[in-house]
Amino acid sequence: MSDSFLRLSKHADASVRLFCFHHAGGMAAMFSRWPAGLPNDVDAVAVQLPGRAERYAEPAFRRMEPLVRYLADEIRPLLEIPFVFFGHSMGAKVAFALAHELRARAVAAPRAVYVAASAAPCLSAPTPGWAPSDDDLIAYLTAVGGTPQQVLADPAVMAVVLPPLRADLALAAAWSYSEPEPLSCSIHALVAEGDQGVTAARARLWERETKSAFTLTTFAGDHFFVRDEPAEVLSYLSRELRRHATVREATP
């Protein structure tokens, strides 16, 4: 399998495949325990972007367009069964952009795209050339929460954390949303009650990106509820995945 994907579970008779996309500065390992909370017929795969973990020596992508072209090439051998995308924060935008790239290539479409802790793309304002300092990045991590203060104060840890975060945020900042034709698959937004940056109102605008069904579900927690409070998310996804394993496939 490509280095872009970490197989979290493998079932020969899997009926649906779940692709998980991490947040800015994150890595595939955040989803490593998910299979234990998912149905046995779900094949879970986490996307591992370059520039982190075992791919640390590889240059990270700083623009969305080449990233999704790369992922579309890499993912095709894994689309032989029904599949869905799940993205957290920046990962939601990557999953969404990849779904559009697959449609442009007229290949298999996801049954659904799940977007967690992510404001709708129509609210994005591109800022190409954004070049944050280390202090800017640490301030960002402080603002979104989820990173202990002792970690933020450790220069050795920050030397590993900040480079992929800088690249990912630059990618998100440079992405230009062009109001594409809505997707044929359903879109489902997940938000946390305590996420001050991604309110239900900001997530609800994802509805305009689909011709199919849209739902908005609220969970307890903050911006990192997917990572820190996964039980309810996995229970929700398990119900959803059972449904997607039996419904008619979406058209690209």
Rg (CA), the chain: 17
Question: Residue 249 — very low, low, confident or very high, per pLDDT cuts 50/70/90?
Answer: very low
**Containing structural domain, residue 23:** 5-121+179-244
Mean pLDDT of 83-92: 98
In this prediction the pTM is 0.93
Render pLDDT for 224-245 as a digit per residue (tens, 0 to 9). Answer: 999 999 999 999 999 999 988 7
Number of independent structural domains in the chain: 1
Do residues 31 and 7 make contact, with C-beta atoms less than 8 angstroms apart? no
Token readout for 167 is 């690249």
pLDDT of residue 247: 59
Q: Is 176 left (phi over 0), alpha (psi -120 to 50) or beta?
A: beta
Render pLDDT for 105-121 as a digit per residue (tens, 0 to 9). Answer: 999 999 999 999 999 99
Least confident of 39-43, 59-63, 177-181, 201-205: 177-181
Residues carrying an active site annotation:
89
Residue 88 belongs to some domain of the structure: yes
Whether residue 252 is predicted with pLDDT greater than 60 in this model: the reply is no
